[in-house]
């Protein structure tokens, strides 16, 4: 069975989301990145209790690479999370898994590497090391993902909507550039890069790291039905980062409709088009139906 | 105290031999499959065998990169390949996809597993995880500072390898999909199109260009930790890695010999060790980008990158390779690589020797005719030299003042 989860919303929207989705991924101040909202550590318990009291899932995103000097506070937060009622912790950096395992913490570790989870062998390796769930890579096709799902037995997370984080630099690339050209960088984070011979604008966001995003919004609603047909348990991730709230409401409503009517191809087509229209034709299917290549010439 | 390892890149057998000849303790190479430089020449299994034989005969080690992030169908043939590497006698593999650890164990394939920098290992807790899994060595992320490296080594006692020289990635290694999204070429399977070297324009939220006249680039300057060799040795790093499996023999010979000298001098002179500025010039001249310390001593800022690809230089310092020395006529027989002319002062360097200058008082072509200049790449020519040189010495522009 697949559930729908979204990033933890602003307070004024919580009630709406509690009705419409099955759970949340919470962005935690200092420990997470690429969220519209970051919850302070002091507010964590309150929100975890609220969500779990409604029988919804609450995952905490520890989705950063951590430098050595951040390990102490990472340990502290994991010990704190161990006392809370949460569904799991999403990690990229294996330090998180090691701290959980070494200290026998009762936290479900979810491997949330959106680029590396490309085969069942590595997922099974991590399953044998206590990992309870995995995000499948955004850069493999839906057919590859379905094939992997046949060979693993932990919860599967698949992103089907949102801008895709495509690279992270620990350099302050925007600040550096503005210093270089002697201009002030605006406080807002909405910048884009464009290659000269292309019409594609790629969002670039600088916080503690600089993150790059796909030029279009992933819209995998057509592929949702294929996932629903599988026997695995898991979660469909719908991501609202940098997404207009009206569009996101439509997305949630649409994915819920598909979940209820997974064989209604006409409806799915209509919903796909509706989402694309509201986004001003700014959606695409990413790598869901396109394989990457890596050999460009034979030597 | 075990001496630090100098680890050089080798894109093919020829470059492997040059790297070892010029002083590398170990080399890393890629096979025809499973390696991140999918578009390099790389080594057949037969060539790996020859490479290992050559290296071991010269007391050097060979590590083989098996460092793609595997897609489900890529795994075919991997076990057989690892068995063959074991039988050939390679000294270890460099990988980042973790299932290979179990594949080795389950099939009793006794190969040392070195964790690739593609795993982006930045901290001691991650290193502890790998150590428990039997990983022999961790290649730390290039984003680690001196303090990070020092603490990781002292806390874990793990063998560590760090990059000390060469091109840098802009983004975290193994986590960069720019190539996939801009060109459909899979960076984690060896197809990286080096998007971080491209020129872009930057736009604001309304998609107005920020500075119409100037490019927006994210291209990092190269890494060089030559100045920090004593610190690196003192904090206990096991292996010092040079980047550049696709670079020329001239580049490899130059950087290997510079670092070889610096390392050996530090072990010999210790407290009396003095940094040699000329070494820095040599490194700078053989590359097309400036060298900086990047993350080692501080977080890189405005000065550690380029803002346009046009800022990179090209150089034509490499003039020729010594093929032999004619003792009777006191002439070097060389294969030309770049233009030089009569009366130029050129510099000659080679393994285990101080470099020296000569003035080219004449040039003879293959027909033994005097010519005013060496104009044709790969042409065999003769120039006078009263000091004996050896096969595989290299001739370059004299850039020392």
pLDDT digits (tens, 9 = 90+) for B218-228: 999 999 999 99
* CB-count burial class (<10 Å; 0-12, 13-18, 19+) for B175: buried
| Residue B288 and residue B372 in one domain | no
Chain A environment of B201 (Cβ under 8 Å): 193-194, 196
End-to-end Cα spacing for chain B: 38
pLDDT for the residue numbered A59: 98
Chain A environment of B151 (Cβ under 8 Å): 68
Q: Give domain status of residue B213, yes or no.
A: no
Chain B environment of A33 (Cβ under 8 Å): none
Which of B273, B301, B329 is the last residue before a domain boundary?
Answer: B301
Closest CA to A5 of A46, A59, A42, A47: A59
CATH number at residue B335: 2.40.30.10
| Residue B385 and residue B242 in one domain | no
Q: What is the pLDDT of residues A22-43, one digit of tens each?
A: 999 999 999 999 999 999 999 9
pLDDT for the residue numbered A266: 98
| Residue B297 and residue B323 in one domain | no
Give the pLDDT band (50/70/90) at residue A296.
Answer: low
Q: Give domain status of residue B207, yes or no.
A: no
Cα–Cα dist B9/B15, whole Å: 8
Query: pLDDT above 90 covers what percent of chain A?
Result: 93
Task: Please tell me which of the candidates B129, B186, B203 has its beta carbon nearest to residue A194.
Answer: B203
Q: What is the pLDDT of residues A189-224, one digit of tens each?
A: 689 999 988 999 999 999 999 999 999 999 999 999
Closest CA to B296 of B148, B152, B154: B148
Task: Please tell me which of the candidates A92, A122, A139 has its beta carbon nearest to residue B99.
Answer: A122
pLDDT for the residue numbered A187: 67
| Residue B271 and residue B350 in one domain | no
- Give every CB contact of residue A145 below 8 A, 6+ residues apart in sequence: A136, A158, A227
Q: Which two tokens stand for residue B351?
A: 């393994």
Which of B274, B301, B328 is the last residue before a domain boundary?
Answer: B301
Task: Please tell me which of the candidates B69, B148, B295 has its beta carbon nearest to residue A116.
Answer: B69
pLDDT for the residue numbered A299: 42
| Residue B95 and residue B150 in one domain | yes
Contact by Cβ (8 Å): B84, B52: no
Pairing of the two strands B159-166 and B239-242: parallel
| Residue B287 and residue B254 in one domain | yes
Alpha helices in B133-276 (DSSP H): 146-156, 178-183, 229-234, 249-269
| Residue B354 and residue B228 in one domain | no
pLDDT for the residue numbered B286: 86
pTM: 0.95
Instruction: Return phi, psi of residue B115, to 5°.
Output: -75, 120
Which of B301, B331, B357 is the last residue before a domain boundary?
Answer: B301
pLDDT of A298 above 60: no
Structural domains of chain A, with CATH: 2-163+217-284 (3.20.20.70), 165-213 (no CATH)
Structural domain range at position B393: 318-397
pLDDT < 70: residue spans in chain B: 309-314, 401
pLDDT for the residue numbered A190: 82
Check B71 against A287: CB less than 8 A apart. no
| Residue B223 and residue B274 in one domain | yes
- Give every CB contact of residue A226 below 8 A, 6+ residues apart in sequence: A142, A146
CATH number at residue B93: 3.20.20.70
Closest CA to B183 of B172, B198, B167: B198
Q: Total structural domains in chain B?
A: 2
Give the pLDDT band (50/70/90) at residue A277.
Answer: very high
Q: Which two tokens stand for residue B383?
A: 């120039």
Q: Give domain status of residue B137, yes or no.
A: yes
For range A170-184, the mean pLDDT: 93
Q: What is the pLDDT of residues A76-95, one digit of tens each?
A: 999 999 999 999 999 999 99
Q: Which two tokens stand for residue A118?
A: 């490309």
| Residue B295 and residue B325 in one domain | no
Chain B environment of A69 (Cβ under 8 Å): 147-148
pLDDT for the residue numbered B165: 97
Alpha helices in B12-158 (DSSP H): 13-21, 45-57, 78-88, 99-106, 124-132, 146-156
Q: Give domain status of residue B392, yes or no.
A: yes
| Residue B293 and residue B361 in one domain | no
ipTM: 0.96
Give the pLDDT band (50/70/90) at residue A183.
Answer: confident
Largest CA-CA distance found in chain A, in angstroms, rounded = 61
pLDDT for the residue numbered A293: 86
Check B200 against A167: CB less than 8 A apart. no
| Residue B25 and residue B89 in one domain | yes
| Residue B126 and residue B258 in one domain | yes
Tell me the pLDDT of chain A averaged across its residues.
96
Check B307 against A94: CB less than 8 A apart. no
Q: Give domain status of residue B130, yes or no.
A: yes
Tell me the shortest Cα–Cα distance from B43 to chain A, in angstroms.
11
pLDDT for the residue numbered A26: 98
Q: Which two tokens stand for residue A236?
A: 């469909």
Largest CA-CA distance found in chain B, in angstroms, rounded = 75
């Amino acid at each position: 069975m697949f559930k729908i989860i979204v990033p933890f919303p602003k307070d004024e929207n919580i009630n709406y989301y509690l009705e419409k989705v099955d759970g949340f991924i919470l962005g935690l101040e200092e420990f997470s990145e690429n969220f519209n909202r970051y919850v302070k550590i002091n507010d964590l318990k309150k929100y975890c209790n609220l969500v779990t009291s409604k029988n919804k899932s609450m995952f905490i995103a520890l989705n950063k690479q951590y430098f050595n000097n951040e390990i102490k506070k990472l340990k502290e937060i994991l010990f704190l999370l161990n006392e809370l009622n949460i569904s799991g912790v999403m990690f990229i950096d294996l330090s998180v898994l090691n701290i959980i395992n070494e200290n026998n913490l009762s936290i479900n570790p979810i491997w949330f590497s959106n680029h590396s989870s490309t085969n069942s062998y590595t997922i099974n390796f991590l399953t044998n090391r206590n990992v309870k769930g995995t995000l499948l890579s955004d850069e493999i096709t839906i057919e590859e993902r379905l094939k992997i799902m046949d060979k693993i037995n932990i919860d599967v997370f698949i992103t089907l909507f949102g801008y895709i984080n495509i690279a992270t630099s620990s350099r302050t690339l925007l600040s550096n550039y503005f210093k270089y050209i002697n201009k002030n960088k605006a406080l807002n984070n909405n910048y884009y890069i464009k290659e000269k011979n292309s019409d594609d604008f790629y969002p670039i966001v600088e916080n503690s790291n600089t993150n790059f995003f796909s030029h279009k919004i992933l819209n995998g609603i057509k592929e949702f039905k294929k996932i629903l047909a599988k026997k695995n348990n898991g979660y469909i991730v719908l991501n609202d980062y940098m997404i207009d709230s009206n569009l996101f409401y439509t997305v949630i409503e649409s994915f819920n409709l598909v979940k209820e009517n997974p064989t209604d191809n006409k409806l799915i087509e209509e919903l796909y088009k509706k989402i694309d229209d509201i986004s001003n034709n700014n959606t695409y299917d990413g790598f869901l139906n396109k394989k990457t290549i890596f050999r460009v010439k034979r030597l | 105290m075990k001496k630090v390892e100098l680890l050089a890149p080798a894109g093919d057998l020829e470059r492997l031999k040059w790297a070892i000849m010029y002083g590398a303790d170990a080399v890393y190479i890629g096979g025809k499959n499973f390696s991140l430089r999918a578009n390099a020449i790389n080594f057949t299994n037969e060539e790996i065998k020859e490479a290992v034989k050559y290296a071991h005969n010269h007391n050097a080690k060979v590590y083989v990169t098996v460092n793609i992030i595997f897609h489900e169908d890529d795994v075919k043939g991997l076990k057989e390949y690892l068995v063959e590497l074991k039988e050939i006698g390679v000294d270890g593999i460099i990988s980042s996809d973790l299932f290979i650890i179990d594949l080795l164990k389950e099939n009793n394939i006794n190969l040392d597993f070195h964790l690739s920098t593609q795993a982006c290992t930045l901290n001691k807790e991650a290193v502890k995880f790998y150590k428990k899994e039997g990983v022999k060595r961790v290649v730390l992320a290039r984003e680690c500072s001196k303090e990070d490296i020092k603490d990781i080594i002292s806390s874990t006692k793990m063998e560590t390898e760090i990059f000390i020289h060469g091109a840098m990635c802009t983004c975290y290694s193994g986590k960069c999909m720019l190539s996939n999204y801009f060109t459909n070429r899979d960076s984690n399977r060896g197809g990286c199109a080096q998007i971080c070297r491209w020129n872009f324009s930057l736009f604001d939220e309304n998609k107005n260009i920020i500075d119409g006249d100037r490019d927006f680039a994210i291209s990092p300057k190269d890494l060089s930790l030559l100045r920090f060799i004593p610190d690196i040795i003192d904090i206990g790093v096991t292996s010092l890695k040079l980047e550049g499996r696709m670079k020329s023999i001239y580049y490899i010979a130059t950087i290997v010999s510079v670092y070889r000298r610096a390392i050996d001098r530090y072990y010999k002179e210790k407290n009396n060790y003095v940094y040699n500025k000329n070494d820095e010039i040599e490194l700078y001249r053989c590359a097309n980008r400036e060298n900086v310390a990047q993350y080692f001593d501080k977080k890189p800022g405005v000065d550690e990158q380029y803002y346009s690809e046009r800022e990179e230089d090209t150089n034509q310092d490499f003039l020729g390779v010594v093929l032999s020395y004619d003792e009777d006529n006191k002439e070097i027989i060389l294969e030309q690589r770049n233009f030089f002319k009569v009366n130029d002062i050129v510099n000659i360097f080679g393994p285990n020797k101080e470099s020296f200058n000569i003035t080219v008082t004449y040039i003879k072509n293959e027909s033994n005719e005097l010519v005013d200049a060496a104009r044709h790449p790969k042409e065999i020519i003769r120039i006078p030299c009263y000091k004996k040189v050896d096969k595989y010495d290299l001739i370059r522009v004299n850039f020392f003042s």
